[in-house]
């Protein structure tokens, strides 16, 4: 599994890279703070909803601090996803290093 720092993800998004952003936090967390373009699919729903995702797409998995997303990234790899990336530090690190206007919780 690969990892990506928030600043590198921001640069890739700004460059127009086609990335599938998967936010595995709960709905209330996503409503509090989210990265634009991320699909909300809470961790507990991923196994049942995996068909909604493109297994060939480069997929960045996002959570609050990086733990849940790492678990989901492993699940996606086991399900045959070809390129899965964990956002290091999650939205907390994104808010602290990339977007200071984003609420932290």
pLDDT digits (tens, 9 = 90+) for 15-36: 999 999 999 999 999 999 999 9
| Per-residue tens of pLDDT for the chain, all 105 residues | 899 999 999 999 999 999 999 999 999 999 999 999 999 999 999 999 999 999 999 999 999 999 999 999 999 999 999 999 999 999 999 999 999 999 999
pLDDT of residue 59: 98
CA-based nearest residue to 95, from 61, 60, 62: 62
pLDDT of residue 30: 97
pTM for the whole structure = 0.97
Give CA–CA dist 71/3, Å, rounded: 13
Q: Which of 63, 70, 72, 85 is flagged as catalytic? A: 63
* 34 belongs to the catalytic site: no
2-97: what fold? Answer: Oxidized Rhodanese; domain 1 (3.40.250)
Please, is 74 exposed, middle or buried when counting C-beta atoms within 10 Å of its C-beta (0-12, 13-18, 19+)?
middle
Assign 3-class secondary structure to 38-75.
CEECCHHHHHHHHHHCCCCCEEEEECCCCHHHHHHHHH
Mapping DSSP to helix (H, G, I), strand (E, B) and coil, where does residue 103 land? coil
Domain ranges of the chain: 2-97
């Amino acid at each position: 599994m690969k990892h990506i720092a928030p600043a590198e993800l921001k640069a890739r998004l700004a460059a127009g890279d086609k990335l599938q952003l998967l936010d595995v936090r709960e709905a209330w967390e996503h409503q509090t703070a989210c990265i634009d373009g991320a699909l909300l699919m809470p961790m507990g729903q991923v196994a049942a909803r995996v068909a909604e995702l493109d297994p060939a797409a480069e997929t960045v998995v996002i959570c609050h601090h990086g733990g849940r997303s790492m678990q989901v990234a492993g699940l996606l790899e086991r399900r045959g996803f070809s390129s899965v990336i964990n956002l290091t530090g999650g939205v907390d690190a994104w808010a602290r290093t990339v977007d200071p206007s984003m609420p932290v919780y």
